Amino acid sequence: MTSSPDDRPAISNLAREERRFPPSPEFVAQANVTEEIYGRAEADPVAFWEEQAQRLIWAQPWTEALDWSDAPFARWFVGGTLNVAYNCLDRHVEAGLGDRVAFYFEGEPGDTQVITYRELTEAVCQAANALTEIGVKSGDRVAIYMPVIPETIIAMLACARLGAPHTVVFGGFSSEALRTRIIDCDAHVVITADGGYRKGSASALKPAVDEALTECPEVHTVLVVRRTGQEVEWTEGRDRWWHEIVPAQPTTHTPEAFDSEHPLYVMYTSGTTGKPKGILHTTGGYLTGCAFTQWAVFDLKPETDVYWTAADIGWVTGHSYIVYGPLANATTSVIYEGTPDTPHQGRWWEIVDKYKVSILYCAPTAIRMFMKWGEAIPAKFNLSSLRVLGSVGEPINPEAYIWYRKHIGHDRTPIVDTWWQTETGAHMISLLPGITSGKPGAAMRALPGISVDVVDDLGNSVPNGGGGYLVVTKPWPAMLRTIWGDPERYKETYWSRFPGAYFAGDGAKRDEEGDLWLLGRVDDVMNISGHRLSTTEIESALVSNPKVAEAAVVGASDPLTGQAVVAFVILRSEAGDGGEHCVRELREHVAREIGKIAQPRQIMIVSELPKTRSGKIMRRLLQDVAEHRPTGDVTTLADTSVMETIQAGLAKGMTED
């Protein structure tokens, strides 16, 4: 049977809704949670979260669980005080778990470290003492720009211990991106490394810091971890080696208890404008959300599980599910510095086999890459320790879900497809592996204590079988509190589209059984390999090049990365008519401005862009071109011939990279 591109999705939808993967009776028998949890949480969500907050040790108990009187600015566990680092470290040592492994670190070149809770606690105390010596105090912001190495986690926890909010900037971001983040949150201290190992060689980080700091006069200290041993430029009086100051410090440090709403960190994420948003997470509610979800969603057994979130610490997934959730639960985790194919394409499976990893959490892009490399590679390793598999960051297509389950999970492991965001802090929608029968491609239902809805344009809830916008209808403890320095933008971005509800920016469908399927972003945000990028941000980067007059960017679907960046560019007349070297220059320009992850897969040089009469670029039509589809309705264009001009120009001599 042949099918036109238009009817293909319908056929695959049908096929996927027929499949169900119920948990095995053995899994159900040992599961952490049972069905009753949903009813209990729904009956009184705030009381439910109070119960979850008991997972932590509070120096002062709260007097009010939730203050929503100044909505959408929430305060959770009002009046309560606690220290995040104490909750992630010292209390486990005090409870007799000092010898439990906190992290098995696997460096890309094959170097390893085993770090117990006692050792990690001592290292964090030393780092906190060192930061104090440098002058870091409660409330000061510290920027962290590091590879995935233990010192990154130590630095974050040392900041948390001091009540100094950190802002971790993903090591793949450019010096320009680092600079804007340092300035936006006004950090005066930066922690970095000479470099890290990626794809078999040392990849420098310090030069990007040096470049960024030429325009950040407020930064007085850069603490540098020696990881690769590569040459670094040194600014006397500003730069200090980590190994010269941290290990010499005392291994004890008295943690101060901070208010439940004390800022814990700022994480920048792309929005629909060119300027990234600093998402603020605070202390008590955030840690409660991370601790509960990591325990419930992964069915965590901290005494026996070996847990691995294969993500970079520089993203929210790394914050919530490498650092804060796992450590709050006294988990034993694996961290891996490098890329999945270094030195061979079986590296991940070798790590699973070596450490007997039982819970693995990663992005669909990685799974699709492994599918491409072939099932013979994981088949060479013993993966029988795995008992729960997780997926995060983008919708998982049913094919990848089934492959993951079959070739990695050997048809035994439940798959938890977790929907959440930098803003939500912790998982929001996921199946619970001992309760729910999984449907490939569906994130299923809101977690206990979380209320979501799918609404139409007017904010009305859609019936089963309908699609619309995903909203969260009640405050939750791990929610963002504001956008750093811009409370108006916080209200406007998340709470104005549907009054009284948090608008996530995602489309969703509720199937006939009421289960949720995520349909991707409905705004100008793209999702590349599970990483969020804004079209406007890349457009701004392109037009900052003197050759470019105008630029429009779209996310086109991509079989490997989910979406890929495709740019349409109008050159200034003095730039000539483009050509391969010009396209190359523009791609490099974007990498310099934002980072390699933002580089367009394709740059098309065009003479015009499709615009409405009010001047808005119609990205939908460009997306049709980028995905080689016939273009949709052009009647709202100011000039309906533009699409023909673009198509004709591209057909004649498209400049593509």
599 binds ligand PRX (CB under 6 A): no
Q: How far is the CB of 169 from ligand PRX (least distance, A)?
A: 14
505 binds ligand PRX (CB under 6 A): yes
Member of 89, 266, 316, 583 binding ligand PRX (CB under 6 A): 316
Member of 287, 392, 431, 432 binding ligand PRX (CB under 6 A): 392
Token digits of residue 586 = 């523009």
Q: Tell me the window of 110-118, 349-357, 391-399, 446-454 that interacts with ligand PRX (CB under 6 A).
A: 391-399
Contact 191, 223 (CB under 8 A): yes
Contact 604, 639 (CB under 8 A): no
- Spatial separation of the C-alpha atoms in residues 472 and 465, rounded to whole Å: 19
144 binds ligand PRX (CB under 6 A): no
Q: What secondary structure, in 3-state letters, does 224-250 show?
A: EECCCCCCCCCCCCCEEEHHHHCCCCC
561 binds ligand PRX (CB under 6 A): no
Of the pair 282, 317, the CB lying nearest ligand PRX is at: 317
* The pairing of beta strand 415-418 with beta strand 388-392: parallel
- Spatial separation of the C-alpha atoms in residues 609 and 140, rounded to whole Å: 45
Of the pair 260, 421, the CB lying nearest ligand PRX is at: 421
Size of site (CB under 6 A) for ligand PRX: 21
Applying the rule CB under 6 A, the residues between 62 and 121 that interact with ligand PRX are none
Q: What secondary structure, in 3-state letters, does 131-184 show?
A: HHHHCCCCCCCEEEECCCCHHHHHHHHHHHHHCCCEEECCCCECHHHHHHHHHH
Count helices and strands (H / E) in the chain. 23, 30
Applying the rule CB under 6 A, the residues between 438 and 457 that interact with ligand PRX are 443
Member of 121, 180, 317, 534 binding ligand PRX (CB under 6 A): 317
172 binds ligand PRX (CB under 6 A): no
Member of 83, 121, 249, 527 binding ligand PRX (CB under 6 A): 527
Contact 204, 194 (CB under 8 A): yes
Q: Tell me the window of 282-290, 369-377, 500-508, 642-650 that interacts with ligand PRX (CB under 6 A).
A: 500-508
Of the pair 65, 148, the CB lying nearest ligand PRX is at: 148
Report the candidate in 76, 577, 447 with the shortest Cα–Cα distance to residue 284.
76
Residue recorded with tokens 């920027």: 143
- Spatial separation of the C-alpha atoms in residues 193 and 224, rounded to whole Å: 5
Dihedral (Cα; 397, 398, 399, 404), 10-degree rounding:
90
Of the pair 87, 422, the CB lying nearest ligand PRX is at: 422
Applying the rule CB under 6 A, the residues between 263 and 282 that interact with ligand PRX are 269
Q: Tell me the window of 208-216, 323-331, 341-349, 412-420 that interacts with ligand PRX (CB under 6 A).
A: 412-420
Q: What secondary structure, in 3-state letters, does 2-52 show?
A: CCCCCCHHHHHHHHHHHCCECCCHHHHHHCCCCCHHHHHHHHCHHHHHHHH
- Spatial separation of the C-alpha atoms in residues 162 and 155, rounded to whole Å: 11
Token digits of residue 451 = 């209320």
- Spatial separation of the C-alpha atoms in residues 261 and 263, rounded to whole Å: 6
Q: Tell me the window of 219-227, 386-394, 452-460, 625-633 that interacts with ligand PRX (CB under 6 A).
A: 386-394
Q: How far is the CB of 84 from ligand PRX (least distance, A)?
A: 20
Q: How far is the CB of 157 from ligand PRX (least distance, A)?
A: 21
Q: How far is the CB of 402 from ligand PRX (least distance, A)?
A: 16
Member of 219, 435, 504, 566 binding ligand PRX (CB under 6 A): 504
x/- mask, ligand PRX, residues 414-433, rule CB under 6 A, reads ---xxxxxx-----------
576 to each of 30, 173, 266, 440, 632, how far by Cα in Å? 68, 30, 43, 50, 31
24 to each of 70, 363, 405, 468, how far by Cα in Å? 46, 24, 14, 33
Specify the 3-state DSSP secondary structure of 317.
helix
436 binds ligand PRX (CB under 6 A): no
Specify the 3-state DSSP secondary structure of 582.
helix
Q: Tell me the window of 12-20, 211-219, 333-341, 388-396 that interacts with ligand PRX (CB under 6 A).
A: 388-396
Of the pair 317, 561, the CB lying nearest ligand PRX is at: 317
395 binds ligand PRX (CB under 6 A): yes
413 binds ligand PRX (CB under 6 A): no
534 binds ligand PRX (CB under 6 A): no
Of the pair 130, 452, the CB lying nearest ligand PRX is at: 452
Specify the 3-state DSSP secondary structure of 403.
helix
Residues forming contacts to ligand PRX in the complex (CB under 6 A) are 269, 316-317, 392-395, 417-422, 443, 504-506, 518, 521, 527, 532
